[in-house]
Amino acid sequence: MATLSEVARLAGVTTATVSNVLRNTQKVKPATVQKVQEAIAATGYRPNLMARALAEGKSSMVALVLPDINNPFYPEFVRVAERVARHRNYFLMVCNTDERPDIGRAYLQQIAGTLADGVLVLHTGISADDINELKTRRSPIVLASEEQVDLANQIPHVVVNFHRAGEIAGQHLLALGHRRIGAIVGCGLEGMQLGRLNGFKSALAASGITLDDAMVRNVSDTVAGGHEATDALLAQHPDLTALFCTNDLMAYGASQALADRGIRIPQDISLIGVTDIQLARDMRPALTTVALGIEQVATISINLLLDLIENPAHEPTIVHVPDPVLVVRASTGPVRSGA
């Protein structure tokens, strides 16, 4: 395997110059860059990233810790974050916890400040105290769109207005004349998605409607969870005219349960979700949902992390993303006549 010295000797430059070319610095003349690149191609040289990290105290690697790569939200988030990181000359490492906070803590303990220059934490249930303790390693950690955040003033955090998302969903169903509405709420690692549910309840309360606990089902954030909850709600409340799901994955499960029962969407029951993943667009009928702006959230989150790596003096930082937006598709319609 070719060495840095061999590349330098063939190009007629110093090893420091080769290193500067590899780091894509602006210090090297274009003619010299071309000579070095030709020497790299001729020798087949590949840089030892681990050795470089040890020598420079910087890995150019960032980690994204997430709970469940099977949930379509996370691959969509990862795709955007990886693109932004690559554009800024960083590699992105994805760490899946299988919804186990202990695995998430182990990742943070092992990679923060060692394999990764910084870590982006996404919906993992890792306690704020644990995260705050690990910050002492001088490796920034950023929370991205966590639904319940303790010590938010001490931990960099990208804030999504989940309460407003639920409120928007409630207002939309009310505007269509729905009053008998069921709610399917995803149980995250630290409890159900309270922000979305509370926002939904607030919208109903503003119209004089109280959402009874019997009309709410708390299930896993999965297709199966949405299916199970829909079956349970309809068994007890066959007169429902609409369903609110706190994420699109459960809404997809709900749509399957309704189809199994021969219930038409939206003629018999309207269905609305939250998130706006690709699946929401691909469903038939296409899902009305409240878009959280995955691309915006991912872009802002990874850029915040990289900014803190390159200039840690600004930590902690709280960034609010734009409010969620209603995306009306074919799964919601006016309440059925006589309902």
Query: What is the predicted pLDDT for the residue at 154?
Result: 79
Q: What is the pLDDT of residue 7?
A: 81
Same domain membership, residue 286 and residue 204: yes
**pLDDT-based confidence at 304, cuts 50/70/90?**
very high
Residues 39 and 80 placed together within one structural domain of the fold: no
Tens digits of residue pLDDT in 84-131: 999 998 999 999 999 888 999 899 888 887 789 999 999 888 877 778
Predicted pLDDT at 43:
83
Task: Please state, as a whole number, how many other Cβ atoms lie within 10 Å of the Cβ of residue 85.
Answer: 22
Determine the Cα–Cα distance for residues 142 and 136; give it in Å rounded to an integer. 14
Residue 35 falls within a domain, yes or no? Answer: yes
329 domain-assigned: no
Same domain for 243 and 311: no
Percent of the chain at pLDDT > 70 equals: 90
Q: Based on the fold, state whether residues 282 and 182 are members of the same structural domain.
A: yes
Please tell me which residue, 178 or 5, carries the higher pLDDT value.
Answer: 178
Average pLDDT, the chain: 88
Is the residue at 16 inside a domain?
yes
Question: Is a pLDDT exceeding 80 seen at residue 224?
Answer: yes
Say how far apart CA 146 and CA 129 lie, in whole Å.
Answer: 14
Whether omega for the bond prior to residue 156 falls within 30 degrees of 0, making it cis, is no
Residue 28 predicted with pLDDT over 70: yes
Q: What is the span of the domain harbouring residue 126? A: 59-161+294-323
In a domain, 241, yes or no: yes
Same domain for 262 and 117? no
Domain identity same for 279 and 192:
yes
Domains identified in the chain, total number: 3
User: Given a cut of 70, is residue 152 above it in pLDDT?
Assistant: no
Taking Cα atoms as reference points, which of 42, 35, 30 lies closest to residue 13? Answer: 35
pLDDT of the residue at 45: 76
Whether residue 53 is contained in a domain is answered as no
| 174 & 273 share domain | yes
Name which of 68-72, 98-102, 137-141 the model is least confident about: 137-141
- Would you say residue 337 lies in a domain? no
Ranges 152-156, 226-230, 243-247, 260-264: which has the least confidence: 152-156
DSSP string, 174-222: HHTT--SEEEEEEEETTEE-HHHHHHHHHHHHHTT----GGGEEEE-SS
Distance between CA atoms of residues 156 and 144, nearest Å = 9
Is the pLDDT score of 4 beyond 90?
no
Predicted pLDDT of residue 60: 87
> Based on the domain organization, do 170 and 288 belong to the same domain?
yes
Same domain, 299 and 155: yes
Higher pLDDT, 225 or 146: 225
pLDDT of residue 16: 84
Residue 54 has pLDDT above 60, yes or no: no
Residue 333 lies in a domain: no
Nearest residue to 158 (alpha-carbon basis) of 175, 172, 171, 141? 141
Residue 270 lies in a domain: yes
The tokens for 20 are 């500067």
* CATH number for 34: 1.10.260.40
What CATH number is given to the structural domain containing 258? 3.40.50.2300
For position 237, what pLDDT does the model report?
96
Per-residue pLDDT band for 2 (boundaries 50, 70, 90) equals confident
Do 286 and 176 fall into the same domain?
Answer: yes
176 lies in the same domain as 281: yes
pLDDT confidence of residue 222: 93
Q: Check residues 19 and 267 and name the one with the higher pLDDT.
A: 267
Instruction: Kindly state the helix (H) or strand (E) to which residue 268 belongs, with its residue range.
Output: none
User: Would you say residue 151 has pLDDT above 80?
Assistant: no
Q: Is 277 in the same domain as 212?
A: yes
